[in-house]
Structure 1
Amino acid sequence: MKASTLLSQDDIRSQRLARDQSALDELEAQALDAETAVTSIQAQIVALETSLRAAREWKADVVPRRDALRLSVAAQRSALSPMSTFPKDVLSYIFQHAVRAHDNGRWPEPPYMASYDLSLAKAPYTLARVCTYWRQTALTTPSLWSYVALPNGAMYPAFASHVSLILQRSKAVDLEVLVEYVSSPSSEIFNRMFAAICEHITRW
């Protein structure tokens, strides 16, 4: 009876060993497959890194040449434009009249209040974006940049930069100043912009 019990325990151990060995064999096979996959992927990564370096070198060579040729083509197109044959003083005169064409009536008599003219504020930037020649002309025409306004809702750093740029590009010409605030604002940005404009009060 005792020998029979021992044999049963051995059988149990043998069965467990067989199961564990089978599971181990399966895991060994999976580990080998995983290692093979890692090796293969690493080889692909090395190949891709080599291709990436080559592509970056190609881009570094092509992009500057493309940009230079793009500028050359733009300059040639600009040179062929009829407007590019105008002397700068004539083009500047045209710009001034184009910008001020809708001025009539913008400054009503009291007690009416003038309102912010967005189209007038944007006009010099629009002209300066057309081509290099127009930009050069616009930047050397201070009267285009004489409209300085502090409208409601524009109290943010980018607008402060715009005001600073206007004051710089307008040089010594008279300024057309508009402040839409009725009461004294507490905005630090407004105070800074208004102080900058006040530095040019002799041009108001």
Structure 2
Amino acid sequence: MIVALLNQKGGVGKTTLALHLAGAWAQRGQRITLIDADPQGSALDWSQRRGHEGLPRAFGVVGLARDTLHREAPELARDADHVVIDGPPRVAGLMRSALLAADLVLIPVQPSPFDGWASAEMLALLREARIYRPELAARFVLNRCGARTVIARETAETLADHDPPVLGATIGQRVVFADAAQSGRLASEIDGDSPAAREIAALADEIDRLGIGRAL
């Protein structure tokens, strides 16, 4: 399965989710390749930081910030159980290529009155991609949620009426994610019993249950 984390709005946590989702699957013994399709190269930076810290490679990270991604990603998928794409913000050609490459698009949004509507351009690109890939699946993911906040609940209720639907698993605003980014580690490596580690595991479980892309 090729999973792309995409949203034209920056700062919604695409890279954090991409790294941790890839890490969760890799820790379960699956073969994972992460494609860094963001010209900023944050996932590649994380991987290099991990190497400098002398940590074992968690999974392969490849830089492919170009609009031929839809032709190159399926080749990488042949040698992996999952390919995770960390997508670019506001680069239309790259975004379209990532959409055409994916089996499942995850759209991270933060619980705010504005984030859902900031995804409108993303949804327009998704509709365009489905002309060529009608089987393309998509889900919203609520990220950086404050614990039990009214706005998080209201955002989830708003997105429940949308296509694509919102996943049940939500990811909190956790300090450990910032620590992980700075140290080249995963939240589960810093504290395997942390809320962050449990939330990422629940997200990976829910995506697995969707059963997308298994026949590819």
Same fold (TM over 0.5): no
Greater Rg, structure 1 or structure 2?
Answer: 1
Structure with more of its chain in helix, by fraction: 1
TM-score (structure 2 length as normaliser) = 0.24
Decide which structure has greater strand share: 2
What TM-score do the two structures reach when normalised by structure 1?
Answer: 0.25
Higher relative contact order (CA 8 A, sep 6+): 2
